[in-house]
Amino acid sequence: MLIATSHNCARDTTYEEIEVLAQPMPTFEADITQGCPGLQVQFKNTTQDTNITGFIWDFGDGTPTFTGVEPPVHTYTGDQEYYTVTLTASNALGCSNTEVKVQYIHIMPPPLALFDVDPSVQISIPNYTFKFIDQSQNNPDQWIWDFGDGSGSSEKVPVTYLCRYRNI
């Protein structure tokens, strides 16, 4: 309301209604946030605000943004280990707000199988004992050893292996 007067001679009053919308408050979640390269993630928009007119998703991997309420499954194929995901919401007045989840998606590098043999890889003494030493990288959680003679192990550090000489 505005009341205007001029030297106490005249008075005028005017009213104008102003609509104030709440700041958009976007929220989201993912069905999975950690996995191997090629991870497929289904994001879910959990925003409660009904006055929102638009959403923009940025998956943090350089792919084009997605405009819409619910994005399709997104596949992470890049070479980064962590990805930051953002969801921006805007209302009818053009006000916008963004939820940012820093390092939300974690792509774990694949394991690299490496090992060493003690005393060495070449020896010609019959019935000789070898010790295999795992030197794998990127935190593997399973091991499958194949000793080439039909035997093997699933231990990280297999028991000492006895190589028996066979005369052919």
101 and 140 in a single domain? The answer is no
- How wide is the angle at C-alpha 88 spanned by C-alphas 53 and 37, nearest 5°? 130
The domain total for the chain is 2
Cα first-last separation, the chain: 106
Query: Which pLDDT score is estimated for 39?
Result: 97
142 and 103 in a single domain? The answer is no
Say yes or no to pLDDT of 57 above 80: yes
Query: Which pLDDT score is estimated for 77?
Result: 94
73 and 134 in a single domain? The answer is no
Q: Is the model more confident about 41 or about 152?
A: 41
Q: Give a yes or no: residue 132 inside a domain.
A: yes
Q: 37 is in which domain, residue-wise?
A: 28-107
Model pTM? 0.69
Per-residue 3-state assignment (H helix, E strand, C coil) for 27-94: CEEECCCEECCCEEECEEECCCCCCEEEEEEECCCCCCCEECCCCCCEEECCCCCEEEEEEEEEECCC
Residue 56 sits in a domain of what CATH number?
2.60.40.10
Q: Residue 27 is encoded by which pair of tokens?
A: 């929220």
Percentage of the chain with pLDDT > 70? 81
Q: What digits encode the pLDDT tens for the residues 2-52?
A: 656 666 676 677 778 877 767 899 999 999 999 999 999 999 999 998 889
Query: Which pLDDT score is estimated for 109?
Result: 86
103 and 157 in a single domain? The answer is no
Q: With beta carbons less than 8 A apart as the criterion, state whether 111 and 156 touch.
A: no
